[in-house]
Amino acid sequence: MRKTSLDTVYEIAKKNKKVIFLGSDLGFKTLDDMRVRLPKNFLMEGICEQNLIGMSAGLAMEGYIPYINTIGTFLTRRCYEQIFLDICLHNLPVRLIGNGGGLVYAPLGPTHLSVEDFAILRPIPNMTIISPCDAIEMKKIMLQTELFPGPIYIRVARGGDKIITSKETNVKIGKAVELIKPIEAVFITTGTTTQIALDAINLLNSNNSKIGLVHLHTVKPLDTTYLKNLFNSTKLAVIVEEHSVVGGLGSAILEFINDYRIENVRIKRIGIPDKFVEKYGTQETLLKYLKIDRDNLIEEMKKLLKGN
Amino acid sequence: MESQENKIKSLRRSIIDMIKVRKGGHLGPALSLVEILYVLYEYILNFNPKNPSWKKRDRLIFSKGHGCLALYAILAEKKFIKKSDLKTFCEPNSILGGHPEKNKIPGVEASTGSLGHGLPIGVGMSLAAKLNKEKHKIFVILGDGEMNEGSNWEALMTASKHKLENLTIIIDRNKLQAYGKTEDILSIEPLKSKLESFGSEVKSTDGHDINKLKKILKKTPFKKGRISALICNTTKGKGLNFAENKGEWHHKSNLSEQEIDKMYNFLK
């Protein structure tokens, strides 16, 4: 997914000379072909993320479309005020590509775990937040970012993630993707938790359940038109995200339900509890430890179906 | 024809006009900037108030956003905004707030107020001009206290890497920040050699001497292939002798009519 996102920036830059890539101090030879062939559109500026964001704002004010890539936490937590003021207050078309969304950097510890990025970026006006579920979807989304108005944050998962969408899946920034039509209940997911929910649904539905799957690659703005229709007919939902339960997709949907006065729905949120993740291991072991895994999703959905 | 001295006094009176509306504001850090802004807008910058986003204009990033009273005064003088706008300072529907906003005020290139943001933006603009082979110049005005911010030094390294000779930074060296003397709070000296070691060509001057400012700023870049940095030695609160070099005049609120009248009397 990460390679696809960066390769697509290169692809867009070949046709649009206003597209400019900025990295901080990325892995050796990242986008090396672009560096050699499009040297004016490729910048590797060192470990100075605050400056990188401000500089991108300056470039965007002069008509460029900057794509900035580095580790997600350094791009969001560290540069919050630069994102807020330099990019979003000026409503500039800067694209932030954050590596290692969620628990990808499990072995590297809390400095690298990006589990509150949605929560801190959601309150910023003009910001669009996207978390694709696989490389096919990432490609479709990245192609749409070229001419999309305003700032965008794109959360990148580990890489080599399982492909669950196809070329035919209709993907448009801001629009929900209904992967399985909900009848009894629904999993609402974003990013690669969509893959986990799909595994859970395959087992649940093989036992005669009729659980749907709605993937929201766009966490902000929410596809309220779709969600209104969804909650008219589906009253049970489990929201799953590789993110803190505070302020992420689950919070956004609960706010939506309150603001639109949607009644008689039962929502269960599955995410990372409001405490620091104290373990290392791998993304998979941490997901299991935090109960963002297939088996717990099945268990929680079963409880919900029983009215608990 | 109005003398330079009268023009400068008139700009300072405009600052008091705004102070009068709110009965306060960042007075000291605006007064130290008046001559610098006068010289830039009178002799140096290319601009067109009828078309503030004219592509070939020179860009002035006012990073020291809290000094905006001086900026508003000169923008009104140069007809980017109306003189009547000054009398609405900080009112609910005014375009002029306590820090300048790009999307509201014609002629303002970037919204500032939180320090350490203007120079990185200016570096991006300078790089864009260089990549596009455009001839306009970029000026960034910084406070001396603002040089505490690490982002400025990151930006200077980047500007030096890209040899942004179209970029000039002007530091308002009034030697005071909000709490006290810059050298007591967090020393920025030796500023000249720090800036040089970060890749700038540095000059310094009396920031209230119009002829010297004009002479120096007409000759940017100071050296081919390098960023120009001008340290302007100034007096905080300049023009009001009771406020000069006094920390408590950095920001004032609840000023009485008598205090405001006293200011006008000094600027007659």
pLDDT digit string, tens, across residues B46-87: 999 999 999 999 999 999 999 999 999 999 999 999 999 999
Contact of A16 with chain B, judged by CB distance below 8 Å, is answered with no
Map chain B to HEC letters: CCCHHHHHHHHHHHHHHHHHHHCCECCHHHHCCHHHHHHHHHHHCCCCCCCCCCCCCCEEEECCHHHHHHHHHHHHHCCCCCHHHHCCCCCCCCCCCCCCCCCCCCCCCCCCCCCCCHHHHHHHHHHHHHHCCCCCCEEEEEECHHHHCHHHHHHHHHHHHCCCCCEEEEEEECCECCCCEHHHHCCCCCHHHHHHHCCEEEEEEECCCHHHHHHHHCCCCCCCCCEEEEEEECCCCCCCCCCCCCHHHCCECCCCHHHHHHHHHHCC
Task: Give the span between the Cα atoms of B222 and B230, in whole angstroms.
Answer: 9
Partners of residue B128 in chain A, C-beta under 8 Å: 58-59, 61-64
CB atoms within 10 A of CB A207: 8
pLDDT in tens, B146-179: 999 999 999 999 999 999 999 999 999 999 999 9
pLDDT tier, B29 (very low <50, low <70, confident <90, very high otherwise): very high
Give mean pLDDT, residues B182-204.
97
Alpha-carbon Rg for chain B, nearest whole angstrom, is 17
Token duo for residue A51: 């400056």
Partners of residue B126 in chain A, C-beta under 8 Å: 58
- Quick one: which H or E segment has residue A244? strand A236-244
Token duo for residue B251: 């920001």
Check A51 against B158: CB less than 8 A apart: yes
Contact of B114 with chain A, judged by CB distance below 8 Å, is answered with yes
pLDDT tier, B2 (very low <50, low <70, confident <90, very high otherwise): confident
DSSP structure class, residue A162: P
Q: Tell me the pLDDT of chain A (308 aa) as tens digits.
A: 989 999 999 999 999 999 999 999 998 889 999 999 999 999 999 999 999 999 999 999 999 999 999 999 999 999 999 999 999 999 999 999 999 999 999 999 999 999 999 999 999 999 999 999 999 999 999 999 999 999 999 999 988 889 999 999 999 999 999 999 999 999 999 999 999 999 999 999 998 889 999 999 999 999 999 999 999 999 999 999 999 999 999 999 999 999 999 999 999 999 999 999 999 999 999 999 999 999 999 999 999 999 87
pLDDT at A307: 87
pLDDT at B34 over 90: yes
Suggest the residue from B151, B167, B169, B198 to mutate for an interface test with chain A (most A CBs closer than 10 A).
B151
CA distance B93 to chain A (A): 18
pLDDT at A209: 87
Give mean pLDDT, residues B2-14.
94
Q: Which domain holds residue B169?
A: 4-266
Task: Give the span between the Cα atoms of B107 and B95, in whole angstroms.
Answer: 12
Number of domains comprising chain B: 1
Q: Note the Cα A95 to chain centre separation in Å.
A: 13
The residue of chain B with its CA nearest to that of A57 is B121
pLDDT at B227 over 70: yes
pLDDT at B1: 66
Contact of B148 with chain A, judged by CB distance below 8 Å, is answered with no
CB atoms within 10 A of CB A125: 10
Residue A161 three-state SS: coil
CATH number at residue B103: 3.40.50.970
- Sheet of B200-206: strand order equals B59-62, B138-143, B167-173, B227-233, B200-206
Contact of B151 with chain A, judged by CB distance below 8 Å, is answered with yes
Torsion angles phi and psi, residue A276, rounded to 5: -65, 140
The residue of chain B with its CA nearest to that of A56 is B124
The angle formed by the CA atoms of residues B252, B36 and B57, to the nearest 5 degrees, is 115
pLDDT at A308: 75
